[in-house]
Amino acid sequence: MPNSARIAQSAFDGSKLRVILLLDLYEGAQQQFLDAYELMRNQVASVPGHISDQLCQSIENPSQWLITSEWESAPPFLAWVNSEEHVETVRPMHSCVRDTRSMRYSILRETNPTEPLTPEQARSALQVEAREGNGVARHALTFTVKPGSESKVAEILAGYESPQAQVDDTTRLRRTSLFMHGNRVVRAVEVEGDLLAALRHVSRQPEVRAVEEAINPYLEQDRDLSDPDSARVFFTRAALPAVHHVVSGREEPAKVTRHALFYPARKGCGMELARLLAHQDEAAADDPASPVYSSTVFQRDDIVVRLIDITGDLDLDPVASLGLKGAKKAAELERLLDGPAIGVEGSLETERNINRLLSHADMLPVTDRSSAGS
C-alpha cells in the first residue's frame, strides 16, 4: 500500500495475534480460579485459530496472574471472545478476580533459536510495515432498546452533560459519537492514551451514571449496574470492537462530516463483510478524489458499523459513501449483506437500490462531542 494512507488499526493484516490478560485475584480465590481456568482451557483448545495459551503467577505478588494466548490471526480470536459461548465460559472467573486488563498485539517479529531463519525466510515472514497511529484508541458499544422508546432514549442520550475529558496525565477522552438505527444504539469513543482507563473513568462520572440509570427501563437486555456481574456481562455483550481504522495521508479538509452506516451481515458473514469494507476504505484513503477522509469499521458477530468522516454530503457520491467503488464490489456486498433486514432486496448494481441502501444504512446522529484541543 502507498504510504499516503495511514492504517492505525487492523485485524486483517494476516499476522499472528498475542493476547495478554492481567488479573488481580481476591485473596483465597486461587484454587477456585485454577478450577475455572481448567474449564476455560479445555474449551478454548478446540476453538479454530487457537494455537496455545499459558497461565502464569507472579513471583513477587501471588495475587497477580497472567494469561497469554497465541492465535493464527485476529479474526478467529475476535469471533471467540465476542461469542455468547465465551461470555458463559469466563463467568465462573468473575467471582475470583478483583481486576483485569486485556491487551491484544499483532506479532511482527519472532526469534526461535532452534529454528534459525535464512535472511530470505526472515524477510518473507515479516509483516510488510508496522501500522502508524497517533496515540488514539477506538472502541464502541451497541445495544437495543424497547421498540417505541427510541425518541425518549435519544432525548436522554443527547441531553447529558459531558464528563471530564482529562483522565490522568497521559489519557484523555477525545471524542464521543452516538448514533441510532431503529432501536439499536451505537456509542463510539476515541481516547488518547489508555482506553481501559478512560472507559473506567467515564463509567464512574456521576453525569454518565445518571444517564445509564435513566435508560435502564428502556433496554431490551435487563441489567443492574449496582451488581458487578450484571454490569460486566452487559458491557461484554455490548462491546463492538474496532477492527480497522484508516485515515488518508492527504491534507485534512477544512470541513468533514461524521456519519455512521449500519451493515447487518448475513448469518456468519460479519467478519468477511467487515474485511471487505476495510479493504475498500484502504483504497479510498489513497484516492485523492474520494470524499471519504477517514474510516473506522466496527464488528461483532453479524453487526457491522462503519464510521466515516467525509467531505460534502453523504448522497453526493453514494457509491463511495457506501464503500462500493470498484468492479464487482456491489455484488460482493450484496452477497454478504442481509438486504431484507435493512430494507433492500434485489441487485445493488442498480442506482435505485444503492440510494435505498444508503438511506437505510445511514444512522441517526444523536450527539457528537469533542473535547477541547481535539
- For residue 297, give every residue at least 6 positions away whose Cβ sits within 8 Å of its Cβ, in sequence order, or none: 242, 243, 244, 245, 274, 277, 278, 281, 304, 305, 306, 307
Of 64, 67, 68, nearest in space to 97 by CA:
64
CA distances from 192 to 92, 174, 242 (A): 33, 6, 15
- Residue 322 is predicted with a pLDDT of 94
- Residue 1 is predicted with a pLDDT of 41
pLDDT tens for residues 249-281? 888 888 999 999 999 999 999 999 999 999 999
β-pair partners for 369: 176
Cell of 280: 475498500
Judged on CB neighbours under 10 Å (0-12, 13-18, 19+), 274 is buried
Q: Where are the beta strands (DSSP E) in the chain?
A: 6-10, 17-25, 50-57, 64-71, 97-106, 136-144, 172-181, 184-192, 239-247, 257-264, 292-300, 303-310, 364-370
SS3 content of the chain, % helix, strand, coil (to 5): 35, 30, 35
Q: What one-letter code names the amino acid at 196?
A: L
- Residue 3 is predicted with a pLDDT of 42
CB 329 within 8 A of CB 256: no
- Residue 108 is predicted with a pLDDT of 83
β-pair partners for 64: 24
CB 264 within 8 A of CB 336: no
- All residue ranges of the chain with pLDDT < 50 are 1-3, 125-126, 128
pLDDT tens for residues 184-242? 999 999 999 888 888 888 888 888 889 999 999 999 998 888 888 888 888 889 999 99
Instruction: Report CA Rg, the chain.
Output: 22
Residues 136 and 92: their CA atoms lie apart, in Å, by: 33
Taken as a whole, the chain contains a residue count of 374
Q: Encode 90-116: b = buried (16+ Cβ within 10 Å), e = exposed.
A: beebeebbeebeeebebeeeeeeeeee
- Residue 123 is predicted with a pLDDT of 55
- For residue 74, give every residue at least 6 positions away whose Cβ sits within 8 Å of its Cβ, in sequence order, or none: 11, 12, 15, 17, 104, 106, 243
pTM recorded for the entire structure:
0.90
Residues 28 and 12: their CA atoms lie apart, in Å, by: 41
- Residue 5 is predicted with a pLDDT of 66
